[in-house]
Structure 1
Amino acid sequence: MTHLIISLINIVKEKKHTLVFEKTVNVLTPSPVH
C-alpha cells in the first residue's frame, strides 16, 4: 500500500490538483478526513 501512497503524492506534486487528491482520499477512506 506504500507504493500507492507514494504514487499519489507524486501525482499531487506534479499536477497539484487538490480536488483530485481529495476525491482519491475519499475513495480510499470512506470516513471523512476533515
Structure 2
Amino acid sequence: ALFRLAADNLLYTAKRRGLRVGIFGALHTYGRRL
C-alpha cells in the first residue's frame, strides 16, 4: 500500500513539475528501495 502511494505521489509530482524531474525522482527512489 505504501509503495503504491509513493508511486502515485511521484506520478502526480511528475505531472506538476515536469516528466523529466518525475522520472529522475522515481529512478532514484526505486533504485534505493530495490
TM range, normalised to the smaller chain? Answer: 0.5 to 0.7
Identity, % of aligned pairs? Answer: 7
TM-score normalised by length of structure 2:
0.58
Question: What count of residue pairs does the alignment treat as equivalent?
Answer: 29
Question: What is the root-mean-square deviation of aligned Cα atoms in Å?
Answer: 2.0
SS in 2 for 1:12: helix
Higher helix share: 2
Q: Unaligned 5+ residue runs, structure 2?
A: none
Runs of 4+ in 1 over 3 A off after TM superposition: none
Q: Unaligned 5+ residue runs, structure 1?
A: none
Kindly indicate whether structure 1 or structure 2 has the higher relative contact order, using CA contacts under 8 Å at least 6 residues apart: 2
Alpha-carbon shift at residue 28 of structure 1 (Å): 1.5
